[in-house]
Amino acid sequence: DAYVQAIEAANDVINAYVTVTGDKAREMAKASDTRIAEGKAGALEGIPLGIKDLFATRDVHTQACSGILNRFKPKYESTVTQNLWDDGAVMLGKLNMDEFAMGSSNETSHYGPVVNPWKASGSDQQLVPGGSSGGSAAAVAAHLCAGATATDTGGSIRQPAAFTGTVGIKPTYGRCSRWGVVAFASSLDQAGPIARDVRDAAILLRSMASTDAKDTTSVDIPVPNYEASLGQSLKGMRIGIPKEYRVDGMPDDVEKLWSQGVAWLKDAGAEIVDITLPHTKYALPAYYIVAPAEASSNLARYDGVRYGLRVDGKDIADMYEKTRAAGFGTEVKRRIMIGTYVLSAGYYDAYYLQAQKVRTLIKRDFELAFNDVDAILTPATPSSAFAIGDEALAADPVAMYLNDIFTVTVNMAGLPGLSVPAGLDAKGLPLGLQLIGRPFEESTLFKTAHVIE
């Protein structure tokens, strides 16, 4: 009741929820009460969660915050959300996001931008919560849920977590099932939690993660008890600092925080090692070829026949065109154009194939680094949250893409990455540090982040 009331009171301003399922939440909470009374409580019994609009939820609007899926209700449940309900969690509703998870500010949503609950000191300017999981991050930061699901294709869990002072983890590719998660770029997409602290994130990920016969890329590795790693010593751990992440124009505050993070980890007994990840500078351009290529293919299914919106036309081709013209927003159309271009005959070798080769080199950089270190520490974002409607960013999509400079490498390599709030900048806004780990070593990230938070 308290959460549903809080949402009713604050959502007009924050716009974190696009669908509120108050009645369902109360019904699920009652069922939790019964299970608790019977001594059958699950790991998340009665915990109220918000669900990113990208996860299919049976008979509850699942729109990927796109006009083309307006009012779409699936007949099935995603594996990740089913895992949460099986552990007793309660659904408060569906959370706002960039359309089809394409964006870094939540401004591409068909349902309007999300307002970051944080403001710079002495300013009334509304700020973005980051994206694409902006609704998830803002809802957690504003106490409009106890935790949230999110997805990360190129930083969409970690960047919004950093902008809102919350914890977000993108687990290793294959750790969570993608079944029932609306596809953006299938070889990069991963689900993960956004939570108020490292412990909550550890508890939520344990519940979300599973092997799933319905997603052949999910892995058959037991899910550890991540919470058990919290409080363990960092003695003997080696933490790498990649010199390529010291980018030009990095604000002093970000640089200072990174040094502060190094000092904290040293104090906790870790050894700090300078490392090199030489192909880092190619990650962003390669990502913005691979992700749109996969997106253009995945989005071909929205044809006015199988899902959501249909705009009638004089024949079937005309209906397709009108439906897609009306249903997709500008950024999604841009991605489809880029994706079909880089996959087309004559350009495929120059762009897509080249980007895939670069991806292998990025992966190899990390493999070599992880021969020497146990985790890598970097800033999560190149800045703190920026203004809603920033004109320079709206006019230049590439400037917006630069937000992802520290996060996309992790998706390209399929590794786990965690963003932990580490301090405030001079404007009083939260900044995050990112920890990157070896495949399936999420526990290492949780234990290290716990020292920083």
Please say if 187 is a catalytic residue. no
Least distance between ligand GLN and beta carbon 173 (Å): 13
The set of residues, in sequence order, having a beta carbon less than 8 Å from that of 2 and lying 6+ positions away, is none
Q: Which of 122, 209, 194 is nearest to 152 (CA)?
A: 194
User: Is residue 132 flagged as an active site residue?
Assistant: yes
Distance CA 378, CA 411 (A): 15
| Nearest distance from C-beta of residue 159 to ligand GLN, angstroms | 7
* Rg value, the chain, Cα: 21
Residue with Cβ nearer ligand GLN (134 or 421): 134
Antiparallel, parallel or unpaired: β 90-95 and 48-52: parallel
Q: Least separation, in Å, of the C-beta of 345 and ligand GLN?
A: 25
Minimum CB separation from ligand GLN for residue 301, in Å? 18
Q: For the chain, what percentages of helix, strand and coil (3-state, to nearest 5) are there?
A: 40, 15, 45
Whether residue 174 contacts residue 208, with contact meaning beta carbons closer than 8 Å, is answered with: no
Altogether, the residues listed in the chain come to a count of: 453
Catalytic hit among 78, 104, 132, 229 = 132
Cα 391 from Cα 399, distance rounded (Å): 11
Q: Cβ closer to ligand GLN: 29 or 150? A: 150
CA angle 412, 57, 19 (to 5 degrees): 100
Which residue's CB is nearer to ligand GLN, number 156 or number 298? Answer: 156
Q: Which is nearer to ligand GLN, 87 or 215 (CB)?
A: 215
Binding residues for ligand GLN (CB under 6 A) = 101-104, 132, 152-156, 184, 291, 404
Given the residues 156, 177, 210, 384, select the one marked as catalytic.
156
Q: Which residue is nearest to ligand GLN (CB)?
A: 156
| Closest distance of CB 67 from ligand GLN, Å | 18
Burial 6-21 (b: 16+ CB within 10 A, else e): bbeebbeebbbbbbbb
Cβ neighbours around 228 below 10 Å, total: 13
Structure tokens at 356: 């895939």
302 three-state secondary structure: coil
Q: Which strand (E) or helix (H) includes residue 369?
A: helix 354-369
Query: Which residue, 141 or 332, has its beta carbon nearer to ligand GLN?
Result: 332
- Nearer Cβ to ligand GLN, position 188 or 275? 188
**Catalytic annotation present for 52:** yes
Active site residues: 52, 132, 156
